[in-house]
C-alpha cells in the first residue's frame, strides 16, 4: 500500500550510472519520490534549497568538494533535511568527520537494497542507521580514552540518561517510553544537551562524545 505522503529524496553521486540506477529503484519504492539528483556538491549548491528534500543520500568521494563538505555546507541551510552518507569508505576518520558535520546515517554502498530502503525509513523515523561494520567501529571507539567535552558540558543525571540512549541509536519515542517521559519533555532535554555540547544535531552529539 502506498504511503499517504512521499519521502522526498535527493541523490548526490558523481557516477552517472550508479546515480541513475539508484534513482530508478528508489522512485519505484512505495512512499519514495526522488526530487533531485546531482553529480557534485557544486551542482547541488544552485538547486538543493529549491528542491528541499527530506533525506539526501551523499557519496563521500565527490569531485571537487567532498561529500563531507557538502553536508557541512547544507546542514545549516536545511536543518530539517537529513543527510546520510552512502560510500565505499569505512575508515574511522571519515565516519566521525561525517557525523560531526551533521550526517544522520553512514551506509556502505554494498548494503543490500532492502536494507538501504529500511535505513531511509529509519532516518525519517528519527533513527541513525549505520552499516554493521561502521557500527562496530563506533562501538570500538568507546574503549578508547574519550575526548574532552566543553568545560561547561555538565549534564544532569537525566540528561546523561537521554544522551546514553541517543548514542545507543534508539528512536525518540523509544527513549521517551524507556524513561517514562513525554515527547515534549524529551525534546527539552535534547535541546539542553545540544546547547551544553555545542552541537546542533543528534549525529553531532554522538560524534562529540565518541570522537577520538
Q: Quick one: DSSP state of residue 146?
A: P
Q: How far apart are CA 18 and CA 44, in angstroms?
A: 17
User: Are residues 136 and 167 located together in one domain of the fold?
Assistant: no
User: Are residues 152 and 106 located together in one domain of the fold?
Assistant: no
pLDDT at position 2: 41
Phi, psi (degrees; rounded to nearest 5) at 7: -80, 125
pLDDT in tens, 98-144: 887 888 888 888 888 898 899 999 898 888 888 776 766 666 655 55
Establish if 50 belongs to a structural domain.
yes
Nine-digit cell at 114? 532492502
User: Are residues 43 and 127 located together in one domain of the fold?
Assistant: yes
User: Are residues 192 and 116 located together in one domain of the fold?
Assistant: no
Phi, psi (degrees; rounded to nearest 5) at 6: -75, 145
CATH of the domain at 80: 3.40.50.2300
How distant, in Å, are the alpha carbons of 49, 54, 115 from that of 83?
A: 14, 9, 17
User: Are residues 132 and 152 located together in one domain of the fold?
Assistant: no
pLDDT in tens, 62-95: 989 999 999 988 988 888 899 999 988 877 777 8
pLDDT in tens, 3-52: 446 899 999 999 999 999 999 999 999 999 999 999 999 999 888 888 88
Work out the angle between the directed axes of helices 157-168 and 183-197 (0-180°, nearest 10).
90
Phi, psi (degrees; rounded to nearest 5) at 121: -65, -35
Q: How large is the average pLDDT for residues 178-200?
A: 88
DSSP code string of 69-120: HHHHHHHHH-TT-EEEEEES---HHHHHHHHHTT--EEEETTS-HHHHHHHH
Could you identify the residue written with the cell 530539517? 80
Largest CA distance in the chain: 51
User: Are residues 90 and 135 located together in one domain of the fold?
Assistant: yes
Q: Which of 94, 116, 140 is the last residue of a domain?
A: 140
Sheet strands side by side (includes 55-58):
32-38, 7-12, 55-58, 82-87, 105-108
Q: Which of 112, 140, 168 is the last residue of a domain?
A: 140
User: Are residues 25 and 92 located together in one domain of the fold?
Assistant: yes
Establish if 106 belongs to a structural domain.
yes
Q: How far apart are CA 71 and CA 73, in angstroms?
A: 5
User: Are residues 58 and 95 located together in one domain of the fold?
Assistant: yes
Instruction: Give yes or no for a contact between 98 and 128, defined as CB atoms under 8 angstroms apart.
Output: no
Residues, the chain: 212
Structural domain that includes position 22: 7-140
The answer, yes or no, to whether residue 208 has pLDDT greater than 80, is: no
pLDDT at position 212: 42
19, HSE (Cβ side, Cα atoms, 13 Å): 19
**Which is nearest to 127 in space by CA: 176, 76, 167, 181?**
167
pLDDT in tens, 178-187: 999 998 899 8
pTM of the model: 0.65
User: Are residues 199 and 98 located together in one domain of the fold?
Assistant: no
CATH of the domain at 177: 1.10.10.10
pLDDT in tens, 134-175: 766 666 655 554 455 555 568 899 999 999 888 777 778 888
User: Are residues 134 and 199 located together in one domain of the fold?
Assistant: no
Q: Which of 140, 170, 189 is the last residue of a domain?
A: 140
Establish if 2 belongs to a structural domain.
no
pLDDT at position 136: 67
Amino acid at each position: 500500500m502506498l504511503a499517504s505522503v512521499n519521502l522526498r529524496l535527493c541523490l548526490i553521486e558523481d557516477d552517472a550510472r550508479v546515480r541513475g540506477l539508484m534513482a530508478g529503484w528508489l522512485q519505484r519504492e512505495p512512499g519514495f519520490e526522488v526530487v533531485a539528483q546531482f553529480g557534485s556538491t557544486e551542482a547541488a549548491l544552485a538547486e538543493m534549497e529549491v528542491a528541499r528534500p527530506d533525506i539526501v543520500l551523499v557519496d563521500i568521494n565527490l569531485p571537487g568538494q567532498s561529500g563531507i563538505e557538502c553536508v557541512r555546507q547544507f546542514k545549516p541551510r536545511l536543518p530539517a533535511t537529513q543527510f546520510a552518507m552512502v560510500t565505499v569508505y569505512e575508515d574511522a576518520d571519515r565516519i566521525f568527520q561525517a557525523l560531526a558535520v551533521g550526517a544522520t546515517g553512514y551506509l556502505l554502498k554494498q548494503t543490500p537494497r532492502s536494507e538501504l530502503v529500511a535505513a531511509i525509513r529509519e532516518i525519517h523515523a528519527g533513527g541513525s542507521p549505520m552499516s554493521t561494520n561502521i557500527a562496530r567501529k563506533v562501538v570500538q571507539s568507546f574503549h578508547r580514552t574519550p575526548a574532552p567535552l566543553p568545560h561547561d558540558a555538565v549534564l544532569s543525571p537525566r540528561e546523561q540518561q537521554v544522551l546514553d540512549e541517543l548514542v545507543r541509536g534508539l528512536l525518540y519515542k523509544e527513549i521517551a517510553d524507556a524513561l517514562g517521559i513525554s515527547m515534549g519533555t524529551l525534546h527539552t532535554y535534547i535541546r539542553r544537551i545540544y546547547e551544553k555540547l555545542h552541537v546542533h544535531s543528534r549525529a553531532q552529539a554522538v560524534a562529540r562524545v565518541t570522537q577520538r
